[in-house]
Chain A
Amino acid sequence: MWIFLATEILFFGGMFTAYVVYRSLHLPSFILGSHELLVKFGAMNTGVLICSSLTMALAIRTAQTGGSKGTIIFWLLLTMALGAAFLAIKLRFEWYRDYVEGLIPGVSWLSGGTHTPGVQMFMCFYFFMTGLHALHMVVGLGILTVLVIMTARARFSPEYYAPLEISGLYWHFVDIVWIFLFPLLYLIGGRYPGS
């Protein structure tokens, strides 16, 4: 899994590199674009994901210490719920709103005003990066479902809980990617009062 995560770092890394390059070339546009995003939902989601990493770790800990499979399943389901909440907040409050306001390049882009070409570039990156991240979240939910089923079938014990641990690594990785994405995308250039 560590090797797989290394490949994921390179995968996201390519996108991050492109983002960093364009941001340094077009900072004013990126600041404008970042202001189109709603920080409160981004922050909320960050909190949600961090909690989900906690619940994931608790699930693993329960298995490690020989807790009941019911408890493990409880923590796993809570992790999934938080992950699903993350996706729901994203979809309903952020992406749907972006769709309505004409901020999705290639799908519903409305140019003019603050929707300059440079902002379009920023929004491209916003959707690509958070979209890729969301895809990884969905895969993660799938993995968690499998884990729930395996736990229900009493496959884990204090001696053998490797799949939980490995999946935990993946989940934490997805969380960490978000922790990088949030400030890079949402928090550029500060927030000018009244601007």
Chain B
Amino acid sequence: MSTVTAELHDVPTEPAVNYLNASYGIKSWLLTLDHKRIGLLYLASITLMFIVGGVAATLMRLHLVEPQGALFEPETYNKMFSTHGIIMVFFFLVPSIPATLGNFLIPLMIGARDVAFPKLNLMSWYIFITGAALALYGTISGGVDTGWTFYPPYSSLYSQTHVVVVALGIFIAGFSSILTGLNFLVTIHKMRCPGMTWFRLPLFIWALYATSLIFVLGTPVIAITIFLLALERLLHVGIFDPAIGGDPLLFQHLFWFYSHPAVYIMILPGMGVISELVTAFSRKKIFGYSFVAFSSLSIAVISFIVWGHHMFVTGQSIYAGLVFSVLSFLVAIPSAVKVFNWTATLYRGSISYQAPMLYALGFVGLFTIGGLTGLFLASLATDVHLNGTYFIVAHFHYIMVGGAVMAYLGGIHFWWPKISGRMYPDMWARISAAIVFLGFNLTFFPQFMLGYLGMPRRYAVYPAEFQVLNVLSSAGASILGVGYVIPLVYLAWSMRYGPVAGPNPWKAKGLEWTIPSPPPTENFEEIPIVTEDAYNYPAIEAPDYPEVPGVARV
């Protein structure tokens, strides 16, 4: 295996003035308009939220080693899983890649000096941390026990917990998503440098574009849903209360109308990252560029019309079930296309195995499993048995954790030299990637089995026959936790003590790699002019490949 070696005649040096040291002091960070610094502000905030959510998860898994519960009363356990879900979904996964890597990289990748609305960008961050602070306050002062799904009538009429405060936190943070999405859409439309046509864009940009569409169109619906729920709780009027003609299922429809596209918000950027990683570490053009680009858009569009698959057992009509089932099968196809394209990109590549690539390959495998288990749930007859059980929990964790979080970590590692100017120790990074992969599978595979056996989710206590699988899952969780802690340590260490990285330690293609690491505040000395396709790695024409007219070339 090759390791990253600097050219012998060119020892990388850090630029004396870059965005990190261009100005000092807390005010220069808190009032910055530099998209790169804003990306780092987000990085700090969501890392904190990840830790909070992760602690909740750790406590949950420790509690579940015993059938009667090892640590908590059911009331506390219920608050734990609610906190875990709310924090992880709304305050970690939704912003993760877009707000950190997206903010940092979009202008760099399209050859711009900043995003379209830098002040709006900073305001987004302040809105985000306001929402997060409110949610944390609600958690600390007692938390909620409604689950992240807040179903009424329990959440509106029965729960005695701080629903309004936490829901308000989510409501506020939603505006951060909307403004970020708006910013990205305008930036990508209007600020591409000369020569950067749509089909020369890196696929990361396509993925973030599709994500921004969902941000902008989906988030307002959760906002109004939370608004209605909060009003119901505060004024004791029953919009969702059957006693005055309300319908709790209406809440579910409104809630899932956002929350299903939301899960695509969480995975599409990760898919964009994987496209970048797979090409960089096999030094090849992506296989099927336009298919991958269009699959991102079609996932975004179809994601809005499948929400009913969360409600197959609610007593909705058979016809609604049939429609949502077929559409849910449909939404799987573009994702499958991506997996095949990534795999095919490796063909005849020049593959190296630094940590980002390990995360990327782990993603492809785990996302395949997660996505295919989605078919069990799109399929009506099996969903009846599996809905509300640990099968669902396993399915979405395979995608969210085995997929999105691994893509996030892979992206952080890949662009870390660009962000910080330093390299991290790759051996430690590869070890953590392996620990994460192993720990993850041990945690969540047994949960598929638990679900099929019938163990419902959100159970604080469970029948004894499920104990062995639960213990396996908790063992895996402890390993997984270790795998997440190690990068925190070495990444922080590298900021001070890591070797200087230079502009392009990976020898990757992409405008972001043509500028110094860390980049100067204005990104480019001169706005570049683009003349080649994305991922235009040098390649030898295969002598055995015939020129066939009509065969699409990429």
| Touch A–B, Cβ below 8 Å | yes
User: Taking the complex as formed, is B1 at the interface, i.e. its CB lies under 8 A from any CB of chain A?
Assistant: no
B245 touching A26 by the CB < 8 A rule?
yes
The total of chain A residues at the interface (CB under 8 A) is: 31
Chain A positions 115 through 153: 1 when the CB is less than 8 Å from some CB of chain B, otherwise 0: 001101100110010001000000000000000000000
Please judge, given known A-B contacts A10-B217, A14-B224, A120-B237, whether A3 and B245 are in contact too, CB under 8 Å: no
Chain B positions 181 through 195: 1 when the CB is less than 8 Å from some CB of chain A, otherwise 0: 110011000000000
A18 touching B228 by the CB < 8 A rule?
yes
Residues from 232 to 261 in B contacting A, C-beta threshold 8 Å = 234-239, 243-247, 250, 254, 257
Closest B residue to A106 by beta carbon equals B235
Residues from 177 to 230 in B contacting A, C-beta threshold 8 Å = 178, 181-182, 185-186, 216-221, 223-225, 227-228
Contacts of A74 in B (CB 8 A): none
- Contacting residue for A117 out of B186, B220, B224, B244, CB 8 A: B244
Please judge, given known A-B contacts A11-B223, A118-B244, whether A107 and B235 are in contact too, CB under 8 Å: yes
A25 touching B245 by the CB < 8 A rule?
yes
B228 touching A117 by the CB < 8 A rule?
no
User: Taking the complex as formed, is A22 at the interface, i.e. its CB lies under 8 A from any CB of chain B?
Assistant: yes
Closest A residue to B185 by beta carbon equals A3
Chain A positions 59 through 74: 1 when the CB is less than 8 Å from some CB of chain B, otherwise 0: 0000000000000000
A108 to chain B, nearest CB (A): 11
Contacts of A124 in B (CB 8 A): 231, 237, 239
A17 touching B247 by the CB < 8 A rule?
no
B224 touching A7 by the CB < 8 A rule?
no
B231 touching A128 by the CB < 8 A rule?
yes
Contacts of B237 in A (CB 8 A): 105-106, 109, 120, 124
- Tell me, in angstroms, the Cα distance from A120 to B239 when the chains sit together: 9
Closest B residue to A116 by beta carbon equals B244
A18 touching B239 by the CB < 8 A rule?
yes
- Tell me, in angstroms, the Cα distance from A18 to B236 when the chains sit together: 18
A121 touching B244 by the CB < 8 A rule?
yes
B228 touching A29 by the CB < 8 A rule?
no
A121 touching B243 by the CB < 8 A rule?
no
Please judge, given known A-B contacts A18-B250, A124-B239, whether A106 and B234 are in contact too, CB under 8 Å: yes
B542 to chain A, nearest CB (A): 45
Please judge, given known A-B contacts A18-B228, A18-B254, whether A3 and B247 are in contact too, CB under 8 Å: no
A11 to chain B, nearest CB (A): 4
Please judge, given known A-B contacts A3-B186, A105-B235, A124-B239, whether A22 and B216 are in contact too, CB under 8 Å: no
Chain B positions 6 through 29: 1 when the CB is less than 8 Å from some CB of chain A, otherwise 0: 000000000000000000000000
Subset of 10 A-B contacts with CB under 8 Å: A3-B182, A10-B217, A10-B220, A11-B224, A14-B254, A21-B250, A22-B247, A118-B245, A121-B244, A125-B239
* A-B CB proximity, top 9 nearest: A106-B235, A11-B220, A14-B224, A117-B244, A10-B220, A105-B237, A14-B221, A106-B237, A7-B220
Which residues from chain B sit less than 8 Å from chain A, CB to CB? 178, 181-182, 185-186, 216-221, 223-225, 227-228, 231, 234-239, 243-247, 250, 254, 257
